[in-house]
Structure 1
Amino acid sequence: MESVPCPVCCTFFIPRNKSQSFCPKPGCQRARKALWQKQKITSDPDYKEGQRLSQKKWLQNNPDYWKKYRRRNPEKTDRNRSLQKIRNMKKQHPPEPSKIIGIAKMDARKPLLQNLSGQYWLVPTIAKMDAVKIFITSIPVNSP
């Protein structure tokens, strides 16, 4: 059988049968199961109800789980609180369509910051992504 790429990790592997599309790595198998479960919940109302009842029963047996989790993970708790504040503000004060800017303003930079050239780290405080190192070079504008 010919090797195929795994849709999760993109490494090539030889499948055991024609229907296998995910490699046997544990992370890829977790992703496969999560995808299957998402599709099953969407297509099967009985399965969805069974999952809901199972979660409800588990929560009844572990009533203070979330309190303990927040105590063990204060950084995640703080992040979630700050994200929730942003979500609440968006619900209360949705932006007017005329105020939404789709492109960058060319004159938004303050004139005091003339020399921005250098290396910077873009560190997201809200989005789930890694920090990115970028290099900025300022381009002089010819004045008339």
Structure 2
Amino acid sequence: MTFRRCKACGNSFTPWPQAKNQQFCSNPACQNERRRRKQAKRRQESLAMRESDAQYLKDWAAKNPGYWQKYRAEHATYAERNRTQQQTRNQARIAKDAPSSLNPLPSGLYQLIPATAEMIAKDTVWLVEITVLQGPSDIEALYCK
């Protein structure tokens, strides 16, 4: 008798003999999760479904033109909190895009490891020496193309 671990709840279960690839137990909550994941995968993979969803939202917005303005007016504290959080996220994004220094990578010895999805262990590691021959002389040099 084989046992498998449910991908939703993590409990072990005995799969049905008729369902060779069963990954979720028969718990109703787990079956709902299975259906939800399947639907999300379908939506992600199907261009027609994404276009249909986009058209539905567009039609709904056309039928309810003042909905978001009314919602923000009725939930002012939530809207203000969201606005503040968005400004913080925008500032963090701007900070990431800015160059950290004129010479972000100092000379020295580094380990070079290939970044591949199927790599499980660090079986291929090279020791490399990076020497900065000349750094940018001014800020404009960073943005030259």
TM-score range relative to shorter protein? 0.3 to 0.5
The structure number with the bigger radius of gyration is 2
> Which is bigger in relative contact order (C-alpha 8 A, separation at least 6)?
2
TM-score, normalised with respect to structure 1: 0.46
